[in-house]
Amino acid sequence: MEKSKVVSLEDRIPKLKQQRKKKANRRLIFLLLLFFSLIVLVIYFQSPLSHIKQIKVSGNSIYDKEEIIQISGVTEKTNIWKVDEEAIEGKLKELPEIKSSTVKIQLPSTINIQVDELKRIAYIAKEKHYLPVMENGSILKDEKVAEIPVNAPILNDFSEGDILNMMIGELESLPEEVLNSISEIHHSPKKTDSNHITLYMNDGFEVSATLRSFSEKMAHYPSIISQLDPEKKGIIDLEVGSYFKAYETEGAEEVEKENEGEG
C-alpha cells in the first residue's frame, strides 16, 4: 500500500473532534428550540390568546343567540382547545325544539354553532292558551301562548295519541301555501268516520274532510277555490269527491279539480 494513501491517527483526531462538536451543537440547538417551544405553548395556553373570541350561531329562529350560547356553556374565557363539540351538541339537543346541532372549531379563536330547529306545525287550544305542536308530534306543555297564533293552524278537540299523530303527519305532507291558508282544524268525528275533521280557512271557506285522504285532497285546495266565487262562502266537502255548498243555499255543486289527473 502506498504511504500517500495511509491516513495517520494524528490527522484523523481533529476531524473527529470537529464532527462531534457539530453534532453536539445541533443537539443543543434542538433542545433549546424544544424548550422555548414548550415555554411558548405554556404561555399561549395560559394566556387570553387561546380563549374563544367569537361565537357564531346559525339556523336559530325560535331560540335567540344568547340562549343558545348560554346552553352551550362556552364563553369568551373558554380555552378553544378545551371545547368538547359532542358534549355541546348533546346539551343543545336536550332543548325541546332542537332537532340537531353541529359544533365546529374554526381556528384560531372562533366557534360555529349550527342548529336545526323542529318546526311548529300547529297549536293545540287548551283553555285560554295555545300549546305548540312540533313536527314530531310532541306538545310543548310549558310553552303556553296567550295570543292567537298566526303562523300555524289551531287544533281544537285533539289530544295526544294516534289521531293527533295522524293529523300532524297529514299537515307535514301539505304544501306550505295550503298549510298557511288554514286557520283552525276541529276534530269532529261522525258515527261513520272517527277521523272526520272540519277546517276553517283564512279566506272564509269551510272544509269537511277525513284524515284518511286529507293531505292528498287538500293539496288541490288552491285549484278548487280558483273555480269558486270568493264572495260566495260555503262548505267544501272533500270526504268523497269534491263538492261545494254555499251557506245560503241548500243544493251542492260538484267542483271539478283542474289537477284531478295529477298524482
Residues 81 and 181 in one domain: no
Residues 90 and 161 in one domain: no
Q: Could you list the residue range(s) of the whole structural domain that residue 106 is in?
A: 49-117
- How are strands ordered across the β-sheet holding 196-201? 129-134, 120-126, 154-156, 182-187, 196-201, 206-210, 234-237, 243-246, 253-254
Q: What average pLDDT does the segment 157-186 reach? A: 91
In a domain, 29, yes or no: no
Q: Give how many domains the chain has, as a whole number.
A: 2
SS3 215: helix
Residues 105 and 141 in one domain: no
What's the N-to-C CA distance of the chain in angstroms? 102
Q: CA 200, CA 181: separation in Å to the nearest integer?
A: 9
In a domain, 162, yes or no: yes
Residues 111 and 196 in one domain: no
The model's pTM:
0.66
- Residues 202/182, Cβ–Cβ less than 8 Å: yes
> Rounded to 10 degrees, what is the CA torsion of 230, 233, 238, 244?
-90
The enclosing domain of 80 has a CATH number of: 3.10.20.310
Residues 82 and 165 in one domain: no
The Cβ of residue 126 has, within 10 Å, a number of other Cβ atoms equal to 15
Residues 170 and 82 in one domain: no
pLDDT tens-digit series, residues 109-125: 899 999 999 988 899 98
- Residues 88/74, Cβ–Cβ less than 8 Å: yes
**DSSP for 86-124, written as a single string:** HHHHHHHHTSTTEEEEEEEEETTTEEEEEEEEPPEEEEE
In a domain, 255, yes or no: no
Q: Helix 65-72 to helix 85-93 angle, to the nearest 10 degrees?
A: 120
In a domain, 151, yes or no: yes
Stated as kind and residue range, the H or E segment containing 137 is: none
Residues 128 and 104 in one domain: no
Whether residue 241 is predicted with pLDDT greater than 90 in this model: the reply is no
In a domain, 257, yes or no: no
In a domain, 39, yes or no: no
In a domain, 110, yes or no: yes
Residues 124 and 99 in one domain: no
Residues 197 and 112 in one domain: no
Residues 70 and 128 in one domain: no
pLDDT tens-digit series, residues 173-224: 999 899 999 999 999 999 999 999 999 999 999 999 999 999 999 999 999 9
Band (pLDDT 50/70/90 cuts) for residue 170 is: very high
pLDDT tens-digit series, residues 2-41: 555 555 555 666 666 677 777 777 787 888 788 777 776 6
Residues 158 and 185 in one domain: yes
